[in-house]
């Protein structure tokens, strides 16, 4: 009954499932262009005929965004609402898988105007006709975006998406409960199974959960090696699972303050919100762990069937203004990729910028996710890990 090791269904179209190296990601240079042209030919004309950009028109009275949790500053949303006299509705998901599940199940009737997929998922969304082409001329502030965050390998020429922000994955621990200096993923696993046992939260996202062990063992987290993935499953299911208390994508949204956990696996921005919200700022310590970790870029895209596309364009354009972007950054704690945002944030005295901007040495150990043949396997490992944590 080992269905979990069974025929892997490839999530991405095979053409899109190519390896995307970190250099390509950050450089966005020649390599990207090559990958890009391959992609473009892969998702040829016929696939995109009915996903063309929406016609220009007046901003509608509503905007429905399907996004990650706590992912926009409330005052920015409020200002946009009152400027354009519209009703802004937010709904949230915890993983790209949840986003795709909802979009493909509803087949263009989801009612969302904007979605926020992570970069590597874009080709698959395009292939399955779930997102529509963007008309960049309608996003006047697009030029405010730093060049290195444009034209990414998964979406050459920003045909379907634009950068929202980017970040990494690390962890935070409660120093009142764990009296130990932690620096690596291996430390996370060790402490999780000892001092913090039963008080650990793991991200509710398959790739990140699988990454825990792979990163700790200095393996690329996008590995397609079945031996490595089997070992990873073995560890997560039989060793780590009993110590996990919950799978949470946003521990910073209240659980870090509640004392529910001693050790939380978290994205940098969410951990920062949790740390800033704690009773004393020193209670939680953020760790940027090695030897490898994740880099991700989330993007704005417009799903097929979006009822209010004009409002969606207006929103993307609005956010790319430096002042607005700074307000966003201050709240969400992620680098928005807008030109000169770092000096702006430093001048404004934004707290905990060490959790927002990373040094070149830190960036050097970050690796981007991708949709490859191991995707379904990762989801299965995660599924099993999650079930085993209950026993």
Quick check: 380 binds other proteins (CB under 8 A)? Answer: yes
> Could you say which of 34, 106, 136, 344 contacts other proteins (CB under 8 A)?
106
Quick check: 37 binds other proteins (CB under 8 A)? Answer: no
Per CB under 8 A, contacts with other proteins among 127-146 are 127-128
Which one of the spans 19-27, 30-38, 97-105, 332-340 is the region binding other proteins (CB under 8 A)?
97-105
Count of chain residues binding other proteins (CB under 8 A) = 74
Quick check: 3 binds other proteins (CB under 8 A)? Answer: yes
**Do residues 310 and 58 lie in contact, with contact meaning Cβ atoms separated by under 8 Å?**
yes
Per CB under 8 A, contacts with other proteins among 304-333 are 307
**Do residues 307 and 289 lie in contact, with contact meaning Cβ atoms separated by under 8 Å?**
no
What gap in Å lies between CA 390 and CA 308, rounded to an integer? Answer: 42
Question: In this structure, what token pair is assigned to residue 159?
Answer: 């045909």
Quick check: 64 binds other proteins (CB under 8 A)? Answer: yes
Its sign, for the CA torsion 89, 93, 96, 98, is negative
Q: Between residues 261 and 358, which has the closer beta carbon with respect to other proteins?
A: 261
DSSP 222: T
Quick check: 66 binds other proteins (CB under 8 A)? Answer: yes
Nearest to 100 by CA among 26, 38, 178, 12: 12
Task: Kindly report the backbone phi and psi dihedral angles of residue 374, in degrees, each rounded to the nearest multiple of 5, phi listed first.
Answer: -90, 0
Per CB under 8 A, contacts with other proteins among 198-217 are 199, 206
Quick check: 197 binds other proteins (CB under 8 A)? Answer: no
Quick check: 386 binds other proteins (CB under 8 A)? Answer: yes
CB of 16 to other proteins, least distance (A): 12
Question: Which segments of the chain are extended strands (E)?
Answer: 62-68, 87-93, 114-115, 162-174, 200-202, 244-247, 263-267, 284-287, 293-300, 366-368
Quick check: 190 binds other proteins (CB under 8 A)? Answer: no
What gap in Å lies between CA 367 and CA 120, rounded to an integer? Answer: 12
Which one of the spans 21-29, 95-103, 178-186, 315-323 is the region binding other proteins (CB under 8 A)?
95-103
Q: Between residues 209 and 316, which has the closer beta carbon with respect to other proteins?
A: 209
């Amino acid at each position: 009954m080992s269905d979990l090791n069974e025929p892997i269904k490839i999530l991405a179209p095979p053409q899109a499932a190519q390896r995307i190296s970190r250099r390509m990601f950050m450089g966005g240079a020649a390599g990207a262009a090559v990958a890009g042209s391959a992609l473009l030919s892969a998702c040829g004309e016929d696939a995109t005929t009915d996903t063309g950009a929406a016609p220009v028109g007046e901003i509608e009275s509503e905007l429905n965004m399907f996004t990650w949790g706590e992912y926009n500053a409330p005052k920015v949303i409020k200002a946009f609402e009152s400027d354009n006299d519209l009703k802004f509705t937010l709904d949230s998901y915890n993983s790209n898988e949840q986003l795709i599940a909802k979009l493909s199940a509803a087949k263009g009737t989801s009612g969302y105007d904007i979605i926020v997929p992570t970069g590597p998922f874009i080709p698959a969304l395009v292939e399955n006709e779930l997102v529509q082409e963007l008309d960049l001329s309608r996003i006047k502030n697009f030029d405010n975006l730093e060049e290195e965050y444009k034209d990414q390998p998964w979406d050459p020429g920003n045909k379907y998406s634009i950068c929202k922000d980017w970040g990494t994955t690390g962890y935070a621990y409660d120093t009142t409960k764990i009296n130990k200096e932690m620096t690596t993923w291996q430390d996370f696993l060790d402490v999780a199974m000892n001092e913090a046992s039963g008080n650990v939260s793991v991200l509710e996202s398959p790739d990140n959960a699988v990454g825990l062990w792979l990163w700790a063992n200095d393996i690329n987290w996008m590995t397609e090696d079945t031996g490595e993935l089997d070992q990873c499953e073995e560890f997560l299911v039989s060793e780590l699972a009993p110590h996990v208390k919950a799978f949470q994508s946003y521990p910073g949204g209240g659980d870090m303050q509640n004392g529910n956990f001693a050790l939380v696996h978290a994205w940098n921005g969410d951990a920062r919100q949790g740390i800033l919200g704690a009773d004393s700022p020193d209670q939680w310590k953020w760790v940027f762990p090695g030897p490898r970790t994740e880099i991700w870029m989330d993007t704005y895209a417009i799903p097929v069937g979006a009822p209010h596309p004009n409002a969606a364009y207006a929103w993307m354009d609005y956010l790319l203004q430096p002042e607005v972007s700074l307000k966003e950054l201050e709240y969400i704690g992620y680098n928005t990729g807008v030109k000169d945002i770092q000096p702006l944030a430093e001048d404004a005295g934004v707290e905990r910028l060490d959790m927002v901007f990373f040094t070149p040495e830190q960036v050097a150990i970050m690796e981007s996710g991708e949709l490859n043949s191991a995707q379904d396997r990762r989801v299965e490992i995660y599924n099993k890990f999650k079930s085993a944590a209950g026993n």
